[in-house]
Structure 1
Amino acid sequence: MTYADQVVLACRVHPMAPDAGVAEAVAVRGDRIEAVGSRAQARAWIGPGTTVTDHGSGVITPGLVDAHSHPVLGLRMTAGADLTGVTSPDELRSALATAAAATPSGAWIQAWGLKPDAWPAPGPHRSWLDAIVGDRPALVRFFDGHAVVASTRALELAGTAGLADVLGPGLVGRDAQGLTGVVREPAGLAHLDAVIAPADVADEAARLHALLAAMAATGLTTVHALDLEGDALAVLAAAEARGRLPVRLLLSPWCGPDLDVDGWRALVDLQRRSGERWAVRGVKLFLDGTIDHGTAWLSRPDRWGQSDVSLWPDRERYAAALAFFDRHGVATATHAIGDASVGCALDVIGDLRRAGSTLVHRIEHIETAPDHLLPRFAEVGAAACMQPTHCTRYVAADGSDNWSARLPEHQARQAWRTRDLRDLGAIVALGSDWPIAHYDPRQVMADAQERRPAELPDAAPVGPEQRLTARMALEGYTTHAAAADGLAAELGVLAPGARADLTVFAADPLELPPGELLTCPVLATYVGGVPTHRHADLPH
C-alpha cells in the first residue's frame, strides 16, 4: 500500500468488525480507514509525510454513534431553568420562583426537565403555577418532552381554549373548572411554542456548536437527531458557518398523521439536504406518546384508564405512509412505547419485508413489550432503538415511580427488554434521547450493564435479567447503531473503506467495571480522521 496520511496507535484497537481480532494501529487516508493492524505492520504505512499519533496505553474503538438524540430540537426544549435535579414540591416552588425573578418582564418564564413525581398532589395544574408566577406567561416542560404545564396567561396568549376541542381531551387537559394547563404531544405543544419569541439563529448555532463539542468530548462521533423542525436548517447552516461540526449529524424530520401525499413527497425531497457533516436521513413517525403522561398505546388501558389509543388514529394510513417512504428508499423510525404500538409497527414493517423491502426500518423506545412480540424484530428485520437510561434514571425497582404506578404489574415487568432482544438476534441500537437523559455514552453503556445508575452500587436494579454484556453495550453504540441506520459499512466499525471515526478511551471499555467506565477519560475523538476532541492532559 502507499503511505498513509496518518497512523493512530494505541495499546489496543477493537475493530468490532466480523472475525477481526484485536489490533494496535489504524491507518487513515483522507477521511477513510486504509488499514488496521499491529504496530509492526504500521511501520510499512508510515512515510515522510505521515502524521503519527501514539495514544500509548489507550484503547481505540470505532467512533461512538448515539442512535437517538435531539441536539437541535433540544436547544428549544432546554430553554429556561433546569429542573432535572428537582425532587419535591418545595424544591420546585423555589426553582420556579427563582426563574420568575430572573426573567425580564414581558418574557416567557420557562423551565424544563421536571419529573411528574415532583409536582404536588393531586397533580399538575395551572393554578399552582399561577400562584408562583402571577399573571405572566410560563411554560414548564416535563422531562420526557411530551407534556408541559402552562400558566393561565400562557394559555390565553396561545388561544389554547379554542384548540381544546380540535386537539381533544387527551392532548389538552381539562377538569370541572376548565383547562388544567397540561398540554401534551407534538400536536398540542406546537401551538404553545409558536407564540414564544424564537431564539436568535446565530445564538442557537453557537449553542449547537458548544453542545456538539461537549458530545465529542464523551467519545461521540455521530448523533442521529430524530427531528428537523422549525428553523433547524437555518441553525445547521449557521453552525457550519462557525466551523466544522464536532460530530456528524443524521437528521430525520417528523411525519404526522395530518400530512397528505404532497407532505410525504416534501419529506422525501428533504433527503437531498446535507452539509459537510450533516445529512437528512430517514423520517420519524409517532404511533404513541408516553406512559408517564397517559398517551402511550397499550393493549389495555393503564391504571388511570389512559394510554389506550394511538396518536396515529388510522392504522391503514400509517401503513400507507411507511410503504410510500419505503418505495422512495427512505427508511423510517417509528416512536412506539406501548405494546400495542410496537405490535402495529412490527405488523406494518413485516408487510413491507414480505413485499420485498430491503430497508432497515426502526422502532424507537419499546418501553414495554410481551414475549410474543420480541422474536418478530429479527424476523422482519426491524431495528430496536432503545435508551437504557430511561429505565435506570426514571424507574424504581420497587415500582414507586410514576411510570410503574400507571402500568399493570405484568407490563411493568416487561420493561426495556434489551437482553431478550439481543439474545433473539435483533439489532439493538442504543442512544440517550438527550435532553431526556444525559448524552454521555459511557453512562448509557454502564447503566445498560447494571440496570441501575452505575454510580450507585447499592441501588436495586430494574429488571436485572435484561443486563447487557460489555461487548453488547459497545455494539449498541457501534455496529448495531450503524446497522440500524443502514450504514454498517460506513460507521461503527474500523475496517478498510469505513469512515475514519475513532474513539480513544484511557482504558478498555470491554474490561472496565461499569462504575469505572462512567469516569474513564476519553483521550481523543476523531471524525473523518480529524481530531474533534483531545483530553486536556494530551499535547496538541
Structure 2
Amino acid sequence: MRIKKTTVLLNQLLAGTMLAALAVGSSFTVAKAAADLIAVNGDVRTVDPNTPRAEAFAVENGKFVAVGSSAEIRALADGKTTVLDLAGKTVTPGFIDGHTHLTSGTDYVTGVDLSYIPDKETWLKRIKEADERLPPGVWITGGGWDYTLKEGKLPTKEDIDAVVKDRPVVLRDIDFHSIWVNSKALEIAGVTAKSEVPAGGEIVLDAKTGEPTGILLEGAGDLVTNKQPAYSDKERAEALLQTVKFANSVGLTGVHDMSSIAAVYDYLKLVEDKSLSLRVWYGFFEDNAANIPAAAEDREAVDSRVAASGETKVKGPLLTVGYAKSVVDGVLSTHTAYMLENYSDRTGWKGEPFQSEADLSALIKAANESGFPTAVHAIGDAGVQMTLNAFEKAQSHAKYPNRVEHIEIINPSDIERFKTLGIVASMQPNHATGTIGKYITERVGHERESHA
C-alpha cells in the first residue's frame, strides 16, 4: 500500500478523476475490486443532498467508486492501492465555469497576462519581458489589463512604444471589449483616425492631436486583430492544452466556452488526441441567422467525431456544440454598454446597440428552431430590455433555456420578465466586483446605481 500525504487540492485528479464530480453519490458503496486510489481523513463535499459531506473516497479505473468514512474506504485498499492522507483538507466536486472564453484566451498563457495587476508600470515590465522572450517577428498578444483598478485613465500607444517599438503589441482588456496596441500594430493594420469601424466600435482619438491613442473599442479592434498572422493547427492545439491544464489546476472540470465556430475544432483535436480534461459546452459567436444551418452541420460533425474517438466511453460527455452566442452592446467602463438614459458622465450619450432588435430576433428564431439555445451579451439596461424583447418575439421551446449574459444594470420593470419568459439571468461575480465600488456611480449616478 503506497501512502501519500497531500497539501494541494488533488491536482492530479483534476485532469481526469474529478470529472466525475463526486456524482457517484455519497453513500458507501462496495467496490467490485480493490481501488487504485483512496483519499482518507478529508473534508469531502459531495453533490448528494442526503449526505453532503464525507471523509473519504475511492477511485478505480479513473472513476469514483465509493464515498464514505475513512474506515469504510480503507477497507477497499490492497497492497497496490495508492493512499492519499488529506489531513483534514477540503475536497470539492469539480467546478463548472458558466461563462468563459478559453479558446480566445490562450494568448494569456503563451503571451502576456496582465490580469488583476493594478499599475501600468508592471504592465510595461511584463510587456518588455515578453519582447525579450519571444522570437523576432512574433506579435505580442494577451492582455487582461484593467485601467479602473488604479490608473483611472486608459493607456496609450506611446506607453507601449516606450518599451517595444519594432514589433506589434495587441493586448485585450479584462473584459475583452477594448484593445490596447502600439504604433507598430496600427501601422501594419493601416488604422487611422478616418478608418471605418462597425456599429458600436470606436477608434479612441487624442483630444489634442486627433490621432489614434492606441485604444480600440469593441469591433474597432478587429481592424488590427484581423491582420494578425494565423497560428498553425499545432500551435493552437498546444496553446489550448496549456490553457486547459491551467483551468484544471484551479479546480475547473467543466466550462461553457464561447468563441468562433472554427475554434471548436481545436477542442476536437484534444479529444481525438485523448488529452481533453474538461467538459466543454460550446457556444459559437453568431449574429447572422443565415449561418445557423452551417453551425448545425458543425454540431453533427463534432458529435460524430467525438463519438468515434471512444473518449466518452471512458470520461463521459466531453464536447458539444451547444448554443449560439450573440452580443448586443459593450461595457460600462468604456461607455459602450447600451443605456435607456444618458450616461451620467457623458452628456448626450446612451451608447448604441451593435445590431438591430429585428436581426437579433431572427437569429434567436433560427437558432432555437435548430435546437440551439441562445446566449446574448447585454450589460446596459437598454441592451437587456432589447434582448428580452427579442426573446419574447422569437424564442421557441427548446431542451435548454435561452439566457442573457452579465446584466450589469437593469430597468426594474424587466426583472419579472426573466421569470415570465423563462430566460436565465446568467450573471458572473466578476461583473459585480469589477464594477460596484469603482466606476458605476460615475457612469449611471446614485439613483440608477440601485439597479446595478
Which category of TM-score, normalised to the shorter sequence, fits these structures?
Answer: 0.7 to 0.9
> How far is the alpha carbon of 1:389 from its aligned partner?
2.8
Alpha-carbon distance in structure 1 between the residues aligned to 2:390 and 2:358? 9
Consecutive unaligned residues in structure 2, runs of 5 or more? 1-28, 312-317
8 Å contact from structure 2 (residues 378, 387) kept in 1:
yes
> Could you tell me which residue of structure 1 aligns to residue 411 of structure 2?
370
**Please, which of 382, 399, 421 is the counterpart of residue 380 of structure 1?**
421
The match for 2:325 among 257, 268, 284 is 284
In structure 1, the residue matched to 2:449 is: 412
Q: In structure 1, which of residues 210, 215, 238 is the aligned counterpart of residue 247 of structure 2?
A: 215
- The alignment status of 1:264 with 2:305, answered yes or no, reads no
CA distance in 1 between counterparts of 2:195 and 2:33 reads 61
1:55-454 correspondence runs (5 A)? 62-76=93-107, 80-102=111-133, 104-110=135-141, 112-117=143-148, 123-134=154-165, 136-161=167-192, 164-167=195-198, 170-175=201-206, 177-185=210-218, 187-228=219-260, 232-256=263-287, 259-261=288-290, 263-272=291-300, 273-274=302-303, 275=306, 276=311, 277-302=318-343, 303-305=345-347, 306-312=349-355, 314-352=356-394, 356=397, 359-392=400-433, 394-395=434-435, 397=437, 401-415=438-452
Unaligned runs of 5+ in 1: 416-540
CA displacement at 1:69 relative to structure 2: 0.9
Pairwise mapping of residues 388-537 of structure 1 onto structure 2 (< 5 A)?
A: 388-392=429-433, 394-395=434-435, 397=437, 401-415=438-452
Q: Is the CA contact 1:26–1:33 (under 8 Å) kept in the aligned structure 2?
A: yes
2: CA distance between counterparts of 1:119 and 1:140?
A: 18
Task: Give the partner amino acid of 1:191.
Answer: L
TM-score by length of 2: 0.73
Structure 2 CA distance for aligned equivalents of residues 109 and 63 of structure 1: 33
Give how far 1:311 is off: 1.1
Q: Contact 2:358–2:390 (CA<8 Å) still a contact in 1?
A: no
SS of 1:180's equivalent in the other structure is strand
Native 8 Å contact 1:223 1:250 kept in 2: yes
Q: Distance in 1 between matches of 2:152 and 2:275?
A: 48
Asked if structure 2 preserves the Cα contact closer than 8 Å seen for 1:6 and 1:52, the reply is no
Contact 2:100–2:258 at 8 Å: present in 1 too? Answer: yes
3-state SS of 1:139 partner: strand
Aligned positions, number: 401
Do the aligned residues in 2 keep the contact of 1:115 with 1:143 (CA within 8 Å)? yes
| TM-score using structure 1 length | 0.63
Q: Kindly, what percent of the aligned residue pairs are identical?
A: 24
Cα distance in 1 for partners of 2:339, 2:192 equals 28
Structure 1 residues 313-348: Cα deviation after superposition (integer angstroms, max 9, x where no partner): x11111111011111111111111111111222223
Task: Summarize the alignment of residues 38-49 of structure 1 with structure 2, pairs less than 5 Å apart.
Answer: none
Superposed displacement of residue 149, structure 1:
2.2
Aligned-residue offset at 1:396 = 5.6
1-structure distance, mates of 2:381, 2:33: 50
CA contact (8 A) 2:108 2:141 kept: no
Q: Is the 8 A contact 1:15 1:62 kept in 2?
A: yes
Once superposed, what is the RMSD of the aligned Cα atoms?
3.9
Moved more, 337-346 or 237-246: 237-246
User: Whole-Å Cα distance in 2 between the matches of residues 39 and 235 of structure 1?
Assistant: 41
Distance 1:6 1:240, change over 3 A: farther
What SS does structure 1 have at the residue aligned with 2:216?
strand
Q: Secondary structure at the match of 1:72?
A: helix
Task: Quickly say closer, same or farther: Cα 1:90–1:330, change in 2 above 3 A.
Answer: closer
Q: How far does residue 281 in structure 1 lie from its aligned partner after superposition?
A: 1.0
Q: CA deviation at 1:21?
A: 4.6
Q: Helix, strand or coil for the counterpart of 1:253?
A: strand
**Equivalent position amino acid for 1:299 in 2:** L
Partners of 1:65 and 1:220 within 8 A in 2: yes
| Structure 1 position 236, deviation (Å) | 2.3
| CA positional deviation for 1:237 | 3.9
